[in-house]
Structure 1
Amino acid sequence: MSTSIISSLAFAGKQVTIYGGILVFIAGIVGEFFNIVIFVSLRTMRQNSCTIYLIIMSIVNIFQLCFNVLSRIMINVYGSDGTDRSLIYCKFRFFFSQFCTVFSLTCFCLATIDQYCATCSRVWLRQMANIKVARRLSVIFMSIWLLHGIPYFFFFNYSVSLTGKISCIATNYIYLQYRAYVVVLIFQGFLPITITVLFGSMSYYNVRQLAFYTVPLVRRELDKQLTAMVLVQVLINFFVLSPYSIANALTLNTNLNSDPIIQAQIQLANNITLILYYTHLAVSVT
């Protein structure tokens, strides 16, 4: 009986990943493409520092859809995404996947912070919201996350199971724990949620006070529009990133995972929340 339940839960998780992943992939590619076109084509948008972060985020998200979502679809449909055939691709896929995820979330955090600065009453903070700062911060954080991903090339290797299946996994236990508790739970979960909700809320408060600031009308309206766009994305990110972070925390609980049925249920929840997690890539902010 328990075997059939576990098999049913595994099958359900597989179907969710395949069909949900296909929907997210198609919608995401279209949505991110429109984001880039609109941000680049409109001169007022192109000259805004917040837009710089959003353009970079949209470009990175397209790669993230290809390396993360499409890869998971291929694993569930064909049983392989190619990482078991090339060790170089195995290492690069996980390196680039991690880089795209954390850099995309970093860009969105910077966008919310930028909007807070742009709508703040303090002049020195408003001066921080400029294109030069945006470009420099983008390069700095891109470099940080590229360097942060270097251990993937050393610690990700092939592992052969008892059935002869080749898997590309982290073979260093310490790095495996670091990736699970720090990278996935903090950098890809609770930290960006906290930053975006905090600065998004403060930006919302600032926008309501814009009428009392000595800011040109055109700039004021643009800030209102961008803040509204960012706030919508903040709300979406909160509701789709939170469940995945919680599900990931549950998978790390060894007491819960000792029961095979509960473990299968948690894995199903993990598959569902993972697809939900990637829906933030399928939402156009424009």
Structure 2
Amino acid sequence: MDTFKMVDIAYITFYNLNCTDNNYIECKIAYWLWRIVPIPLLVVGIFGNVFSVIVLSRPRMRKNSTSIYLLFLAASDMVSLLFGLLPDTVYSITGVRFVDRSKIYCRTRLWVIHSSVAFSVLLLTLLTLERLLLTKAPIRARRLFTPKTSLVVCMTTLFVIILSNSHIVYGFKHYLNKQEILEEFGKDLYPVLHFPCAYVNKTYRAFYTRTWGVIVLLVFNFIPATIILIGNVTIAADIILRKKRLNKTYPTLHISTVNLQQSCRSRTCSPVLNTEPISIQRIPPVCPQIDNQKGTNNPEGTPRTKYTKVKTVGQHNNEIKNQPLTRLKNQTPPAKASKVKARSPSRMLFTMTIFFMVTSFPYTCCVVLKSQIGELKERDISRWQLLTIVVLILGWCNNALNFFLYFVSGTLFKQEWKRLVKSGKIRFCRIFER
């Protein structure tokens, strides 16, 4: 075989591979990757996104504006898998293209894929901007970013994206026979076109492969990725600075060799101390009491917590009786409580951002490089076929594995999932009890 034979990249297929004409290991690896990886990834992605939609749709989760973005993201990822991964896998294994079987599907498939992928990227961008504003101006941002506001923003973004990609519906045509394609494009372009679903004319082919490709890379890839990266770096820096300030404001209470056991019943508290010499800097935790009586400071009689002094026993009475009252040991300071509450969304956002960069950036680079290549040697063709399936698998992982990212990095998501599983077990057991 002549390894120095040059072939135009436009004539190369990267999906339905045939490695019988060459003996390159890259082509064989790509051939088996198409048959092994996509199907399990599709199953995991469909079930994972369905579970994400179920969990994020629960009333407790819908109260959080972040859950609205994640809910739309799960639905968008599922659409990308059904319209992207599934048809490409079937075509690579069997050689059958779904777009050739239906006129409507021929016109709408790429429209749906472009819209869903762009929507997923912009959702992550909007989520980053929301967390950034919540970090910089938490009071104003919490008033602004409500679940209703997030829903309006998501629907508006989706409408704009669908409208901007609507030209694809009119840019493809389902031809009745090959002679129509030959008359429209001529002999030079005829081999690179698929029958019967192809471009509507030469002008749109040039626009879609060149101009629109550049617009997609800039508007839906590089610009959102830059915003996401800068936003997450800013959020991380702000969290680190707040943590340092918090440690200065609420230093860790250190009580050496103390074994304090409290038995709090109604309005009494009985601390038990070791008889060993100790050095106590603050008074031990006290028991909260509920005051339901109406008064000048509590006109509505609403329950409120007040703290009482602890009666100490033994030789340590003089050491701690004059110390100021402190909070309960397990009670989190207000500033720290808000930090803990915000930890889960921020950690989830960081995890999703890193995963998005790792899985999406290689595919973007691959598309840019392909547009700059004219002809390739046969050995380089096999390498590009292997590279194509690898970057496609990485991109599909971004759509298929978000459920596991939510579960690992999202504390609220994990808790709601456990509640869902627990309630499901109870309902399942009641069926057999009847």
Say yes or no: TM over 0.5: yes
Match of 2:58 among 36, 41, 53: 41
Which 10-residue stretch deviates more, 218-227 or 241-250?
218-227
Structure 1 residue 29 displacement after superposition: 1.6
- In the TM superposition, residue 122 of structure 1 has moved relative to its aligned partner by 6.0
Moved more, 224-233 or 207-216: 207-216
Query: Cα distance 1:129–1:215, how it changes in 2: closer, same or farther (>3 A)?
Result: farther
Candidates 19, 25, 45, aligned match of 2:36: 19
Corresponding residue number in structure 2 for 1:245 = 364
Q: Distance in 1 between matches of 2:196 and 2:212?
A: 17
| 1:144 counterpart (132, 157, 160) | 160
8 Å Cα contact 2:53/2:71 also seen in 1: yes
- Once the two structures are superposed, residues 249-280 of structure 1 have per-residue CA deviations (whole angstroms, 9 ceiling, x without a partner) of 1111134x343432442232122101111101
Residue 189 of structure 1 corresponds to 221
- Counterparts of 1:122-133 in structure 2 under 5 Å? 123-133=139-149
Compare relative contact order (CA 8 Å, sep 6+) and give the higher one, 1 or 2: 1
Match of 2:210 in 1: 177
- Aligned equivalent of 1:97, options 82, 89, 113: 113
1:71–1:81: 8 Å Cα contact kept in structure 2? yes
In structure 1, runs of 5+ residues without a counterpart are none
AA of the residue aligned to 2:351 = V
CA distance in 1, matches of 2:334, 2:361: 36
State whether residues 9 and 268 of structure 1, in contact with CA within 8 Å, keep that contact through their aligned partners in structure 2. Answer: yes
Please tell me whether residue 57 in structure 1 is matched to residue 76 in structure 2. Answer: no
Question: Contact (CA 8 Å) 1:251, 1:266: kept in 2 or not?
Answer: no
Instruction: Please give the alpha-carbon distance, in whole angstroms, between the structure 2 residues aligned to 1:147 and 1:254.
Output: 31
* Distance verdict in 2 for CA 1:131–1:91, change over 3 Å: same
**What is the CA–CA distance in structure 2 between the aligned matches of 1:87 and 1:36, rounded to whole Å?**
31
The alpha-carbon distance between structure 1 residues 176 and 158, as it changes in their structure 2 partners (threshold 3 A), is: farther
| Equivalent residue, structure 2, for 1:265 | 383
Contact 2:121–2:221 (CA<8 Å) still a contact in 1? Answer: no
Larger radius of gyration: 2
Shift of 1:193: 2.4
Correspondence for 2:233: 201
> Can you list the C-alpha shifts for 1:134-167, whole angstroms capped at 9, x where unaligned?
1221111111111012111111224755599615
- Is 1:229 the equivalent of 2:229? no
1:167-214, CA deviations, whole angstroms, 9 ceiling, x for partnerless residues?
A: 53444111221332222x334533332222221222222333456699
**8 Å CA contact 1:117, 1:129 repeated in 2:** no
1:244 to partner: Cα distance: 1.0
**Number of matched pairs:** 282
Q: Is the 8 A contact 1:250 1:266 kept in 2?
A: no
SS in 2 for 1:119: helix
Structure 1 residues 139 and 274 mapped into 2: Cα distance closer, same or farther (>3 Å)? Answer: same
Pick closer, same or farther for the CA change 1:164–1:245 going to 2, 3 Å: closer
Do the aligned residues in 2 keep the contact of 1:200 with 1:231 (CA within 8 Å)? Answer: yes
Q: Which whole-Å deviations, capped at 9, do the CAs of 1:12-67 have from their partners, x for residues lacking one?
A: 33432332211221221222223223323361x32121221111100111111111
Q: Does 1:112 align with 2:141?
A: no
Distance 1:163-1:223 versus aligned 2 partners, 3 A rule: closer
When structure 1 is superposed on structure 2, of 246-255 and 91-100 the one drifting more is 246-255
SS of residue matched to 2:136: coil
Distance 2:376 2:192 in 1: 22
Letter in 2 for 1:243: P
The one-letter code matched in structure 1 to 2:398 is: H
Instruction: List per-residue Cα deviations over 1:112-149 (Å, max 9, x = no partner).
Output: 11111122246444544332331221111111111012
In the alignment, the residues of structure 2 paired with residue 146 and residue 229 of structure 1 have an alpha-carbon distance, to the nearest angstrom, of 28
Q: Kindly indicate whether residue 195 of structure 2 is the aligned counterpart of residue 166 of structure 1.
A: yes
More helix by share: 1
Q: Distance in 1 between matches of 2:74 and 2:66?
A: 13
Greater Cα shift, 199-208 or 244-253 = 199-208
Distance 1:149 1:164, change over 3 A: closer
What is the identity, as a one-letter code, of the residue corresponding to 2:350? L
Q: Take 2:399 and 2:120, find their aligned partners in 1: how far apart are those partners?
A: 10
In structure 1, C-alpha distance between the alignment counterparts of 2:117 and 2:393, rounded to whole Å: 14
